[in-house]
Amino acid sequence: MASGTPQSGVGRVIAGRYLLLNRLGSGGMGHVWRAYDQRLACEVALKEIVFRDPAEADQDRSARVARARAEARHAAGLRGHPHVVTVHDVLEHDGLPWIVMEYVAGALDLSALVALRGALAPAECARIGLAVLDALTAGHERGVMHRDVKPANILLAPDRTGSPYARVLLTDYGISVQPDGDETRYTLTSALVGTAAYLAPERAQGGPPTAAADLFSLGCTLYYAVEGYGPFDRESGLAALTAVVLEEPRPMLRAGALEPLLSAMLTKDPVHRITAEETAAALSAILTPQAHPRTRLDQGSEPPWADAATATAAPRTPPAPQVPQAPQGSGDGSQWYAAAAAGQQPSSAAARREAPAAWPAGGPGYGPPPAPPGRRHRRRRVLPAVLGAALGLALAGAGTWYAVGNPPGGGGKSRDASPYGSAIGLSEPLKDGDCVAADWRGAAPFTGRPGLDVVPECLDNGTEGQVMAVFEVASAREARSEGPARCERRTERTRESLAAVRSYAVLPTEDGFDAAGRRVACLLLDSTGHALFGPLGSHRAPGTAFTDTATMQKRDCLDKISDNSAKLVSCKGPHQQKVLDFLQLSQDTSLREAEERATAACQANRPPNDYGHDPNTYESSSWVGKSAWNSGTHYVVCTAIRQDGGTMEGGEP
């Protein structure tokens, strides 16, 4: 720890009462520990306030202590709320504050859950959103604005039955404020309080904290949960703030019924933003829609509140979407979660294409009124039966004629068993995460269609690309017209995080459409046709060792293994380096010269302070890979490290 921070570690006793057991996580304010209350013989969570340099300790100590007390007071005012982490006490130890909180066993924050399991289903996001909105509303009614609603501040934990992630809790009121109260505000007037990519635009421009601003942050959080990334995620805090104020959210691909609600929550002007009451009603409609039992399930459809016309023409419009509900009283919610997250939700546009233009009139039901019973009604059923029998005989005869005229091996036309045609050459459809080798057959990369082979276990010496997403289409024609653009959108975030990759849509042929599972596969390939040395993006597990720089991504956190290798580690815990960006050196630079000059070049052109790191604490480091010189791209990877050689902590930029 830096000078001025209390010495802490496992086994330390705080205030003569709380024995530290292990660190649960870290953030901008400090660390959270699991501790044992020796007086009451129970486990609690302790929040330790950390000062990272002596100057901060001298200038900001009193403000930090006061802020911790304010956090405890605000959260204690919501004691007993089912969706707020309970605060028990605030104490001082060695002159610094510690907050004693409820320990939530088995909890995982929303950010970690998405990283672990991928984007959540719209129904699950609606459930989480309702719980958090309830907690926020309870605070707003007391005049307390949270000001830092984000995935990391939402905990998901088992309930009393053991159902995982069933309990939803809002935590960290550390920067909350009562805007109309008389309390002192414990932040510098020049500082923006909150997380850049989740701030409301009016807050980013210096406006006061409001309930509407918290609602915008909740919209960003639910967007992250359903899409897997934030609507305004950028490479730096400044870029994120700019996007929040000036840019529209990234297009939604997985939101389904949540899409119109999220758009309403992310409205730039707070005057026109949806209200908390309207949001609660919309989330409830998504979670427990009132659908007719004969209605076809369609989680991706827009909910009835999305269109005002629905209210006036309910009998003639498709019913509200129906979503799976968690089984009440079951001991395990994982089966429900898996079903809800299976990704079988068509987009709103697709749902509208599939829906009939108008439902038959007939009062409150979803079909014509039943005909009165009688002889005439019974006779009506005879003609369809006769016609059906005749049609069956005709089809049987046609089948016999086809079998006689087209015996096996007799040269009749057969459908291509290859999902993507003979040029691609695969006999099985590609799956998300499959690594491939690509053969451009002597042509320049991305010229024509490559021959593809699946590479087992993503072997370093054979991987040239990886499937980053698959999605269903209605026809091979739709795949050809929309597939490339949709693959560009679905791989955008990973492409922007790598130095030299391109997206390639693997399209099913007309004859192989069914064999391809009616899906398009989105590949990321090395832009020069060279090897990528392993898995990409979210398919890399913590602990993955880098044998080359080709799969290092912006924002990766690394631990150095040797001068020639590093491993990927979680940014939520201690780490030695963080990847900032890539820098392209001149074409006449040799590999040896690059290894000698890269760090100085990174410090001059990609300094850590450009990415939010204190220049008095951090400096540049670099990695140079052979693949960048073999391919001619000449990219080096620029990272940030601490000047004192210490580790970086979770919650840093």
What whole-number distance in Å separates Cα of residue 307 and Cα of residue 355?
15
Higher pLDDT, 291 or 641: 641
Higher pLDDT, 401 or 261: 261
Phi and psi at residue 260, to the nearest 5°: -65, -35
Higher pLDDT, 62 or 403: 62
Model confidence at 651, pLDDT cuts 50, 70, 90, reads low
Alpha helix stretches (DSSP H) within 358-491: 375-380, 382-405, 476-490
Do both 77 and 220 map to the same domain? Answer: no
Do both 494 and 548 map to the same domain? Answer: no
Question: Residue 76: what pLDDT?
Answer: 64
- The partner residues of 35 in beta bridges, in order of sequence, read 20, 44
Residue at 360 is within a domain: no
Question: Residue 598: what pLDDT?
Answer: 93
What value does the mean pLDDT take over residues 528-547? 86
Query: Longest Cα pair distance anywhere in the chain, in angstroms?
Result: 96
What value does the mean pLDDT take over residues 594-616? 89
What value does the mean pLDDT take over residues 25-54? 79
Name the strand (E) or helix (H) holding 361: none
Domain boundary among 537, 557, 585: 537
Do both 155 and 278 map to the same domain? Answer: yes
CATH of residue 50:
3.30.200.20
Name the strand (E) or helix (H) holding 109: strand 108-109
What whole-number distance in Å separates Cα of residue 309 and Cα of residue 621?
59
Is 148 an active-site residue?
A: yes
What whole-number distance in Å separates Cα of residue 204 and Cα of residue 216?
12
Coil vs helix vs strand at 322: coil
Domain boundary among 274, 289, 304: 289
pLDDT surpasses 50 at 303: no
Do both 83 and 127 map to the same domain? Answer: no
Q: Which of 37, 53, 60, 148 is catalytic?
A: 148
Do both 98 and 144 map to the same domain? Answer: no
pLDDT surpasses 50 at 186: no
Q: Residue written as tokens 């086994």? A: 11
pLDDT surpasses 70 at 285: yes
Judged on CB neighbours under 10 Å (0-12, 13-18, 19+), 579 is buried
Question: Residue 105: what pLDDT?
Answer: 87
Do both 145 and 171 map to the same domain? Answer: yes
What value does the mean pLDDT take over residues 636-648? 91
The pLDDT tens digits for 116-156 are 888 999 999 999 999 999 999 988 887 788 888 999 999 99
First CA to last CA distance, the chain: 17
Where is mean pLDDT largest: 376-380, 562-566, 609-613? 562-566
Do both 86 and 216 map to the same domain? Answer: no
Residue at 585 is within a domain: yes
Taken as a whole, the chain contains a residue count of 653
Do both 531 and 548 map to the same domain? Answer: no
Residue at 334 is within a domain: no
User: What single DSSP character describes residue 119?
Assistant: S
Higher pLDDT, 306 or 16: 16
**Closest by CA position to 490, among listed 507, 505, 474, 473:** 505
Of 49-63, 209-223, 619-633, minimum mean pLDDT range: 49-63
Residue at 614 is within a domain: yes
pLDDT above 90 coverage of the chain, percent: 39
- The partner residues of 505 in beta bridges, in order of sequence, read 522
Name the strand (E) or helix (H) holding 453: strand 451-454
Q: What is the domain count for the chain? A: 4
Amino acid at 398: A
Question: Residue 552: what pLDDT?
Answer: 92
pLDDT surpasses 50 at 580: yes
What whole-number distance in Å separates Cα of residue 223 and Cα of residue 180?
30
What value does the mean pLDDT take over residues 32-51? 87
Model confidence at 583, pLDDT cuts 50, 70, 90, reads very high
pLDDT surpasses 80 at 200: yes
The pLDDT tens digits for 448-489 are 889 999 998 887 667 889 999 999 999 999 999 999 989 988
Question: Residue 29: what pLDDT?
Answer: 62
Question: Residue 187: what pLDDT?
Answer: 38
Count of C-beta atoms within a 10 Å radius of residue 571: 19
Rounded to 5°, angle at Cα 40 from 36 and 43: 30
- The partner residues of 19 in beta bridges, in order of sequence, read 13, 36
Do both 128 and 228 map to the same domain? Answer: yes
Higher pLDDT, 406 or 443: 443
Residue at 463 is within a domain: yes
Question: Residue 469: what pLDDT?
Answer: 92
The pLDDT tens digits for 333-389 are 332 223 333 333 333 333 333 333 332 333 323 233 333 343 333 334 444 443 444
Range of the domain at 82: 1-103
What value does the mean pLDDT take over residues 97-111? 88
User: Taken in order 180, 181, 182, 186, is the CA torsion positive or negative?
Assistant: negative
Question: Residue 424: what pLDDT?
Answer: 93
Residue at 335 is within a domain: no
- The partner residues of 101 in beta bridges, in order of sequence, read 45, 87
Do both 136 and 206 map to the same domain? Answer: yes
Strand 108-109's sheet: what is its strand order? 108-109, 154-157, 167-170
Mean pLDDT for the chain overall: 76
What value does the mean pLDDT take over residues 251-276? 95
What whole-number distance in Å separates Cα of residue 52 and Cα of residue 35?
23
Q: Is 47 annotated as a binding residue?
A: yes
User: Taken in order 512, 515, 517, 523, is the CA torsion positive or negative?
Assistant: negative
Model confidence at 245, pLDDT cuts 50, 70, 90, reads very high
pLDDT surpasses 60 at 321: no
pLDDT surpasses 80 at 60: no
Domain boundary among 537, 570, 593: 537
pLDDT surpasses 60 at 201: yes
What value does the mean pLDDT take over residues 51-66? 56
**Closest by CA position to 21, among listed 10, 9, 32, 8:** 10
Do both 562 and 520 map to the same domain? Answer: no
CATH of residue 226:
1.10.510.10
Question: Residue 194: what pLDDT?
Answer: 63
User: What single DSSP character describes residue 145?
Assistant: B
What value does the mean pLDDT take over residues 291-319? 38
Residue at 382 is within a domain: no
Residue by residue, DSSP assigns 17-40 as: TEEEEEEEEE-SSEEEEEEEETTT
Model confidence at 410, pLDDT cuts 50, 70, 90, reads very low
Residue by residue, DSSP assigns 266-298 as: T-SSTTTSPPHHHHHHHHHHHHS----TTSPP-
Coil vs helix vs strand at 394: helix
Question: Residue 35: what pLDDT?
Answer: 92
Question: Residue 198: what pLDDT?
Answer: 94
User: Taken in order 545, 550, 552, 558, is the CA torsion positive or negative?
Assistant: positive
What value does the mean pLDDT take over residues 90-102? 83
Count of C-beta atoms within a 10 Å radius of residue 367: 12
Residue at 239 is within a domain: yes
Amino acid at 246: L
Do both 500 and 556 map to the same domain? Answer: no
